[in-house]
Structure 1
């Protein structure tokens, strides 16, 4: 442990302080290592990406318990179902060991999420077993004021006494009650910690966009956000940690927002984690398309169960049977459950319909198998042959079909429950995972973010993508991510093709954001310019919480700078760059050839081409070196560089065809009024880049459909359309880049002021 502390003290930028693992944290992690489904103690504690050391980094960025000062706000980012709860439990354990007297967990916006978090905290911290470290309160009100005062006073006298652990629903009313009761308690000198679980949900100011647009006063704030600010205001010595797998909303808050994070840290999943890359970029057999004709719409109701719903149910039954045959038995069995999730829509009436279809399918299959199993086993197996063959391709170790069918009859149907999980009165009862092994959960919003489905292996989600969906909302539906590596080949996700495409493209966005956060880990987030790769299918988050100015730039087709001459020093540097880079590429990649010999439909051309220059060379030699000083051009250039770097990371063999326009003889262009400048100003933007004069070859056609093309030019710029002699700015290096549609990207960038 001494070595670990030494490593933590060398982290750059340095931690504010180094939390130490003491009795409670050690005991907590040892108990987690004894969990049949948990990692070993060494895995939890050893190495820079272990749960313990990442938790020490997170808490070490917070306000030290021995110092007073401004409240600290941090962002902690993991993947969906990746161990964020274990991370913040470890942070809480460290807080207890290192002198924090109050910990508050904002544990979800729905009672089922609050209950889920509370049950885990009480179990893992031994609270229900009479542990000496915590006094737990659920949604406290003024009636519990004396209890809180007594416990806080006892802790102040002797910090080895129980600390206060409060779990509260993330709802304006309950947060107001908590703030009111804590306001009347003397909390000076009591270090406090707030954990905001799923922090991008409900916590943020939903009027931020109106404030940014000048349509609302800065004091006009939404209810839950206001209540969180009140709660923070009554804690004189606290830090606030925002935990989420989808940080887009927090990263797009205005810099002046009270919940704008000061720093970011990451939660690294273990080796057994399976997320978007494994499901949507890995084995294609894991994702199954739901045809549009099998999805109900407002104008097309389904009168019978969709074929793919029944297929998915049969697939799940086989997985359950395999689990039943191979599961570990004993008083504490490992990997107890297997589950299926059906997520048709938000409306509860659809849940009843899908549940009724599944209930009928179970009844019919059970009766049929019981009849055929003894008399005609081949016919019984034929009912599942298609689904079995599919599973065997991705999980060759699946047990023989004959054994699985027998296990369905003998065990699985008797251990299977099909339930609704939604807000209706008869569906509010919690799923008690230990009561039976196999579950089918049918629901909507309550199966979205934060809800853990034990052993989820089959997901049927006909829910459509919707109009302009938010990236973070889509990703939070991915309850099928998690620690599933041992049985990943048995998992299936049934979605529409558009949803699959959105998830697939989201992965690149998620990895880009995560890598940017890793590069800025622990640094002030105010210094990080928000530039995101984001599919055009998605917006980053709900618009009403965005307080930061952003602009979407498609990197698709021609990208041309507007005003490369607006800085004399930069223009001179670009002239020198062009003079060096063209001979370098000619020597390395071959002499230029005339464009007409390569392009179809063009009989003659004044332009030459250096073919197949590696994209890496184009980036390193030219695009990263060229000076772009105009603010709007710089935004687009930044987006272009990010997109090209992403393409290169995906395919290191990409090539660029470099067109030497007019063989790099100076052409002539005029300037136009723009950027607040008259056309006569030498720094006004160029009139047009592509020559479209009658009788000339259209320069925009000088590119290849399937490869990136770069045009290099030299221009003299003047005031009069047809009089090159009026040129008053000479020899300006210009360039244009064409990205073919198959490589297109879309960037969401922070707008420069």
Structure 2
């Protein structure tokens, strides 16, 4: 956006802010009126139209006020403090002006104001001189604006009287530095990095909120260049002693840093500095599920960082701990009853849990992995996702630390070319001054990340040479490199910008300015977006865990993700592609393994259910402890977090099956087991006929053949005889049968049965069994399955059941009401295309639904040499959609040990490339 367009934007935004309901016409009329002014003569019609569209999108963006659950004896204090004139919103007013200056939508600023009030009100009252401590958690979405939220909370806490504020920001320097810069801009108001330079130490540069008013700038004991240092802090104690302004520290989540801070506070907690630990202290723990959790296996053992955070809090008579995270599963598994004499209590958010709503323009997991996936992505390409299937021996998912990178997969080069083309289109759209980034996360090892950087740099320079030599020629497309770029444009971006010549003419400035950078602990390079000058940076960032926790890649457009983990927190935090993509969302592309994409879809549903659970429990006045129990009993609890955060020994996992779904996603590949289960299926179909449910009585529905009113015994006999593979944990039949048997005379006396039957693309012959004619369903399996004698269902959703199958047996009225409720829940209009999650139908069920699957295994993705090992006939699986129970609190017990958990879900690699020298 040029300076003149930005100036026009500012004036128009102010004018339309006064309109009750701005429309497309009123926005354009306002722009036209202001453009009459001579200063805007340079603004073209095209720029004006782009601005109009941006304003339409911005005005249409809204954000809910989230959900709050807290302890039952909560006593609000904020309203009285304001009514008594005890709070002047000095720091918040500055921050609100900054948000407005950044042209955040009015509704988003208002919601942020409201939500931060709700958080502050549940924190301790800083004017209460009695001893207190509070612990809470704020649950947001990955890359959705949690930093902006807690910056606002810091401002309000300072206004209320908190005088020592500590922000713990990740375990890597680059994230701490980035967070410090955000706090500098939103709270401190000056560039703290200048404090490190002698020539500018006494000449502060005011930034962000400081440009509005810098009379009460907080004291910062850390800078954008340096973490906490005892010597530097001691020189500032004279400023601290008066506490006329707040003191803030942004520190790394590192045991040495925490130890130094604790020692320094203890040293200054006596004598004339004793007031320091008498002050009310706020501790913000960013990425609270990472490293803060007590990961020691014994109940009385405390992990180092967890213990130090508790020590830090314990120094103060009045303290409040607020953990921010997008993946709270590990935090929920903290034992809320783990009090002990040494550490008082763990960091369980016993006082409040607050769920943040994401604005409506948030580019999140649902948009990418659910709404962006067609019902059959074998025939129709997903909107944003592209699948990696050519990494093979060049770059296996599992590789050694000394793996030699002689070449990179063609899909990685294609992604690089797409990034170049997408950046050229963004420049054509007037986004030249904005940053653009590509993420490459393909190895856990820093050495291999550095090799990948070198290979990509070599390819980038080859493209640059080609564009420099032939890019301007009339036959430029005959150049092989340029021809490949054109292919990317044709396959991916023709609709985004229909003129190839325009794109080609903009390639040179893109490739000339693009840099490939390793972002890891062994790299001397620094990802500094402030160094971009007038033009935004164009960066290909290659890394691992350093890219996976909190670090924001500005303008992230293309991602190449060759990692696999079944841990919710690991996967979601690696999802740096989530966030806000104003005016270039259509250009975003993500490459990953098909299997990984299926787990993201699963996690998207689980995290959405988590936010809904918060809202339900808020309405029911539930407590954080009750919410913790609800999350821990969710069927997905087996995969919620890394094994080292779950302790050791035998796990008695209590799972609630009310209003939940289970199915056989892992099947044994042994011929004996497959044949046994085929015989069980045949007896089941024969039993249906004997019980008055012959083939001619079945109703043809979407997804197969439906039978209603089938007696409990028919289903129970099938489950009794079915041979479940031990790796399909949740479909273990013994606990499920106990759950069903307890309800056999009331809630589960009669069942709906769906014989899944879908017409396959290859027109395969149907199965003919005892008068039944059933079309098998086609599913892919995992790449290493046959070697392990197992068949793991993969694909776009990692489910055997197809989307929408769980509405089988519901009346049209119930289906309509379920879908209407979902639209209302997500503020979706009646004309908006929606992929309804099956949970909306499940919640409306009155009878359980048993699904029988005959699964034909696809050959795609299976090595040619292994295809002879594929089953020659469909394999049998099943699923059950359990309706809401009148006894929802009754749980089913699954017993597993950590060895089995590790076999099923793998080791956590979240701290894989964080060497000691970075601590």
Same fold, TM exceeding 0.5?
yes
Q: Is the 2:437–2:555 contact (alpha carbons within 8 Å) kept by the matching residues of 1?
A: yes
Name the counterpart of 1:382. 483
The yes-or-no answer on 1:108 pairing with 2:170 is yes
Distance 1:689 1:154 in 2: 69
2:260 to 177, 194, 197: 177
Cα distance, 1:30 vs. partner? 0.6
Instruction: State the 1:199 CA deviation.
Output: 0.5
Relative distance call for 1:412 and 1:247 in structure 2 (3 A) is same
Matches within 5 A, 1:184-195: 184=269, 185-187=274-276, 190-195=279-284
- Aligned partners of 2:632 and 2:654 also within 8 Å: no
Shift of 1:266: 1.9
Q: Secondary structure at the match of 2:308?
A: helix
TM superposition shift of 1:24: 1.7
Deviation of 1:100 (Å): 1.2
Q: 1:255 to 1:534 in 2, by over 3 A?
A: closer
1:538 positional shift: 6.8
Task: Please name the residue that 1:401 is paired with.
Answer: 500
Matches within 5 A, 1:216-255: 218=300, 220-255=301-336
When structure 1 is superposed on structure 2, of 374-383 and 337-346 the one drifting more is 374-383
Displacement after TM superposition at 1:749 (Å): 10
Q: How do 1:188-203 residues align onto structure 2 when only pairs under 5 Å count?
A: 190-203=279-292
User: What is the RMSD computed on CA atoms of the aligned residues?
Assistant: 4.2
Q: Contact 2:662–2:881 (CA<8 Å) still a contact in 1?
A: yes
What pairs with 1:19-34 in structure 2 (closer than 5 Å)?
A: 22-34=89-101
2: distance between equivalents of 1:204 and 1:358?
A: 37
SS at match of 2:383: helix
Describe the shift of the 1:359–1:114 C-alpha distance in structure 2 as closer, same or farther (beyond 3 A): same
CA distance in 1, matches of 2:581, 2:184: 25
2:255 paired with 1:137: no
CA displacement, residues 269-307 of structure 1 (integer Å, 9 cap, x when unaligned): 222210001111133131001005446233886642211
2: distance between equivalents of 1:654 and 1:193? 59
Aligned 8 A contact 2:265 2:277 in 1? no
In the aligned structure 2, how far is the partner of 1:223 from the partner of 1:496? Answer: 35
Aligned equivalent of 2:107, options 40, 43, 46 = 43
Q: Secondary structure at the match of 1:544?
A: helix
Q: Do the aligned partners of 2:712 and 2:751 also contact (CA within 8 Å) in 1?
A: no
Q: Name the CA shift for 1:148/1:276 in 2 (closer, same or farther; >3 Å).
A: same
* Alpha-carbon distance in 2 for matches of 1:749, 1:287: 40
- Structure 2: how far apart are the matches of 1:247 and 1:614? 42
Relative to the length of structure 1, the TM-score reads: 0.70
The one of 101, 111, 118 aligned to 1:57 = 118
Q: Which structure 2 segments of 5+ residues have no match?
A: 1-64, 83-87, 192-205, 339-345, 373-381, 665-682, 715-719, 721-736, 743-748, 757-804, 810-846, 853-876, 883-887, 895-919
Which of the residues 247, 256, 259 maps onto 2:347? 259
SS at match of 1:241: strand
**Distance in structure 1 (CA, Å) of the matches to 2:713 and 2:581:** 58
User: Within the alignment, does 1:95 sit opposite 2:95 as a pair?
Assistant: no
- Name which one, 1 or 2, has greater alpha-carbon Rg: 1
Q: Does 1:280 align with 2:369?
A: yes
Q: 537, 540, 544: which is aligned to 1:440? A: 540
Q: 1:510 matched to which residue of 2?
A: 607
Report deviation, 1:360. Answer: 1.8
1:738 aligns with 2:853: no
What CA deviation, in whole Å up to 9, does each residue of 1:232-259 have, x standing for no partner? 0011111110000000001111112420
* Secondary structure class of the residue paired with 1:127: coil
Match of 1:162 in 2: 245
Residue 144 of structure 2 corresponds to residue 78 of structure 1: no
The separation in 2 between residues aligned to 1:98 and 1:415, in whole angstroms, is 47
Aligned residue-pair number: 593
Match among 358, 382, 387 for residue 289 of structure 1: 387
The alpha-carbon distance between structure 1 residues 752 and 289, as it changes in their structure 2 partners (threshold 3 A), is closer
What secondary structure, in the 3-state scheme, does the structure 1 residue paired with 2:517 have? strand
Change (3 A) 1:412 1:153: same
1:91 to partner: Cα distance? 0.3
Give SS of 1:113's match.
helix
What SS is found at the alignment partner of 1:475? Answer: helix
Question: Within 1, Cα distance between the matches of 2:331 and 2:312?
Answer: 19
Structure 2 partner of 1:541: 641
Per the alignment, residue 481 of structure 1 pairs with: 578
Deviation at 1:386, TM superposition (A): 2.8
Query: Cα gap change, 1:660/1:272 in structure 2, threshold over 3 Å: closer, same or farther?
Result: closer
SS in 1 for 2:322: strand
Instruction: After TM superposition, give the deviation of residue 88 of structure 1 in Å.
Output: 0.1
Distance in 2, Cα, partners of 1:457 & 1:288: 13
Instruction: From the superposition, tell whether residues 96 and 483 of structure 1 become closer, same or farther in structure 2 (CA, over 3 Å).
Output: same
Quick check: 2:514–2:539 contact (8 Å CA) kept in 1? yes
For normalisation by structure 2, the TM-score amounts to 0.58
Q: What's the counterpart of residue 179 of structure 2?
A: 117
Question: Residues 303-325 of structure 1: CA distance to partner in whole angstroms, max 9, x if unpaired?
Answer: 42211011101100011111222
Supply the distance in 2 between the matched residues of 1:440 and 1:604 (Cα, whole angstroms).
62
Change (3 A) 1:705 1:752: closer
CA distance in 1, matches of 2:892, 2:690: 39
